[in-house]
């Protein structure tokens, strides 16, 4: 059986980069896999989160996923903290993973920066919790972006070491799913920086909660250069903003970059931006409308998450019982 697990942090708004880079692919995977999608609130608190914002963000991210096409009836959608098996298995993995392995994690080095001594223990152990997320369900496939590949490698190492140490084959080796058209969306203000929820400029990103007017304004203000659009990929060299807008156009219209270039060759940015706005509004508008409806009803979202968590626990509980027995923990 092929089982997908993936997680998204409830910190800040979902934006176009999340949608084109990840969520859209999660939606497509529902055709071929049994999918478990998790709003990872326990990962979020590795850096301080204001409680009311964490609550609102968890609901908003869940609403965004449903609005974008995740089906919480056919698949499983829940927030991490509602299944204690994640934290339970993460503790076991804290005892399997070696300090040397975690010391190599580039994301920790980046996030902790110069203030390593002051980073939370949770931020350091973050990859062990991520391994637990995946392996508590024996997930076989994990859609991840470039930035999470190293963490997935670590999950594979942990699975292997557990199996070796205890002479078992409980855990599968989860495979990364690198999806063909996953687009790396860059900031609208700087084509060399990834679109990010932590960018201080709100004009740098298009949020899934943006109205048509917001989208139009942000695309109008997007940084460009004075040249018209080129006809082929060679002409994008040294023009990161042009490249980004063309790639967004291609992703939103489901065509290749070359086809997007062919369709827009020689256009001035003013004209291209109008078309890109119409395209973005046509794709994001319906998601936005659905999301507004969903976020206005907390009880519906909370109910979806609670039911999802119950189904998640039904899968992880027998796996955890097996893990505990393997370790030698006494249980009735
Ligand atoms: N660390 C991932 C991120 O920040 C989120 C995540 C948590 C995840 N657990 C996961 C992704 C398990 C894939 C599988 O993007």
Same domain, 62 and 159: yes
> How do beta strands 34-39 and 141-143 pair?
unpaired
Both 165 and 282 in one domain: the answer is no
**121 and 265, same domain (yes or no):** no
Pocket lining: 144 vs ligand 1, CB cutoff 6 Å: yes
Which atom number of ligand 1 is nearest to the Cα of residue 43?
A: 7
User: How far, in Å, is the centroid of ligand 1 from the Cα of 221?
Assistant: 32
Q: Which atom of ligand 1 is nearest to the CA of 129?
A: 9
Is the CB–ligand 1 distance for residue 126 below 6 Å?
Answer: no
Number of structural domains (the chain) is: 2
Residues 145 and 262 in one domain: no
User: What DSSP line would sit under 272-321, residue for residue?
Assistant: HHHHHHHHHHHHHHHHHHHHHHHHT-HHHHHHHHHHHHHHHHHHHHHHHH
Residue linked to tokens 């991490």: 80
Instruction: Find the CATH number of the domain harbouring 13.
Output: 3.40.50.620
In a domain, 196, yes or no: no
Claim to verify: residue 174 and residue 93 sit in the same structural domain: yes
Residue 40 CB–ligand 1 contact under 6 Å: yes
Cβ(148) to ligand 1 under 6 A?
yes
Helix pair 85-94, 121-135: axis angle to 10 deg: 110
Q: What is the pLDDT along the chain (332 residues), one digit of tens a residue?
A: 799 999 999 998 899 999 998 999 999 999 999 999 999 999 999 999 999 999 999 999 999 999 999 999 999 999 999 999 999 999 999 999 999 999 999 999 999 999 899 999 999 999 999 999 999 999 999 998 888 999 999 999 999 999 999 999 999 999 999 775 557 899 999 999 999 988 999 999 999 999 999 999 999 999 999 999 999 999 999 999 999 999 999 999 999 999 999 999 999 999 999 999 999 999 999 999 999 999 999 999 999 999 999 999 999 999 999 999 999 999 98
Which residue's C-alpha comes closest to atom 13 of ligand 1? 6
Is the distance from the beta carbon of residue 43 to the nearest atom of ligand 1 less than 6 Å?
Answer: yes
Residue 191 lies in a domain: no
51 and 176, same domain (yes or no): yes
Q: What is the pLDDT of residue 1?
A: 75
Residues 305 and 275 occupy one common structural domain: no
Q: Is residue 332 part of a domain?
A: no
Q: Let me know whether 209 and 264 are in one domain.
A: yes
Q: How far is the CA of 107 from the centre of ligand 1 (A)?
A: 12
- In this predicted structure, what is the pLDDT of residue 180? 58
Whichever domain contains 260, its CATH number is 1.10.240.10
Close Cβ partners of 256 (under 8 Å, ≥ 6 residues apart): 250
Burial, 82: exposed, middle or buried (Cβ in 10 Å; 0-12, 13-18, 19+)?
middle
Q: How confident is the model at residue 267, as a pLDDT? A: 96
Respond yes or no: is residue 271 known to be catalytic.
Answer: no
Q: Is the CB of 130 under 6 A from ligand 1?
A: yes
> Is 111 a known active-site residue?
yes
In this prediction the pTM is 0.94
For residues 238 and 176, state if they share a domain: no
* Cα(48) to centroid(ligand 1), Å: 18
Residue 43 shares a structural domain with residue 156:
yes
* Residue 194 among the catalytic residues: yes
pLDDT attached to residue 145: 84
Task: Name the token pair of 133.
Answer: 């997320």
Cα 6 to middle of ligand 1, angstroms: 6
pLDDT of residue 147: 86
Please check whether residue 250 is in contact with residue 236, taking contact to mean a CB–CB distance below 8 angstroms: no
Q: How far is CA 318 from CA 79, 263, 295, 313, 325, in A?
A: 20, 54, 34, 9, 11
Minimal-distance CA residue to ligand 1 atom 8: 7
Q: Does 164 lie in the same domain as 308?
A: yes
Which ligand 1 atom is nearest residue 8's CA? 5
Range of the domain at 265: 202-293
Q: What single-letter DSSP state applies at residue 104?
A: T
Q: Same domain for 305 and 217?
A: no
Both tokens assigned to 126: 């973050």
252 CB under 6 A from ligand 1? no
């Amino acid at each position: 059986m092929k089982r997908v697990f993936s997680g998204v942090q409830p910190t800040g708004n979902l934006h176009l980069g999340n949608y084109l880079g990840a969520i859209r692919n999660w939606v497509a995977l529902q055709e071929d896999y049994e999918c478990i999608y998790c709003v990872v609130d326990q990962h979020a608190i590795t850096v301080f989160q204001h409680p009311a914002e964490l609550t609102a963000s968890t609901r908003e991210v869940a609403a965004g996923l449903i609005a974008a096409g995740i089906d919480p009836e056919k698949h499983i959608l829940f927030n991490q903290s509602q299944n204690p098996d994640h934290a339970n298995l993460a503790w076991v993995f804290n005892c399997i993973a070696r300090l040397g392995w975690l010391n190599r994690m580039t994301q920790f080095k980046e996030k902790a920066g110069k203030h390593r001594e002051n980073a939370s223990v949770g931020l350091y152990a973050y990859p062990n919790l991520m391994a637990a997320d995946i392996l508590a369900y024996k997930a076989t496939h994990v859609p991840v972006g470039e930035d999470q590949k190293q963490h997935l490698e670590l999950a594979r190492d942990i699975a292997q070491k557990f199996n070796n140490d205890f002479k078992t084959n409980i855990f599968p080796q989860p495979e990364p799913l690198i999806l063909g058209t996953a687009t790396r969306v860059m900031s609208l203000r700087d084509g060399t920086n990834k679109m990010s929820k932590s960018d201080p400029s709100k004009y740098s990103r298009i949020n899934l909660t943006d109205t048509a007017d917001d989208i139009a304004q942000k695309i109008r203000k997007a940084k460009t250069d004075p040249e018209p659009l080129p006809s082929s990929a060679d002409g994008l060299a040294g023009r990161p903003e042009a490249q980004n807008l063309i790639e967004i156009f291609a992703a939103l219209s489901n065509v290749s970059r070359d086809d997007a270039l062919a369709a827009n060759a020689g256009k001035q940015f003013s004209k291209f931006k109008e078309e890109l706005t119409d395209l973005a509004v046509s794709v994001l508008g319906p998601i936005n409308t659905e999301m507004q409806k969903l976020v206005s009803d907390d009880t519906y979202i909370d109910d979806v998450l609670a039911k999802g968590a119950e189904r998640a626990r039904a899968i992880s509980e027998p796996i955890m019982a097996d893990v505990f027995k393997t370790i030698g923990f006494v249980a009735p």
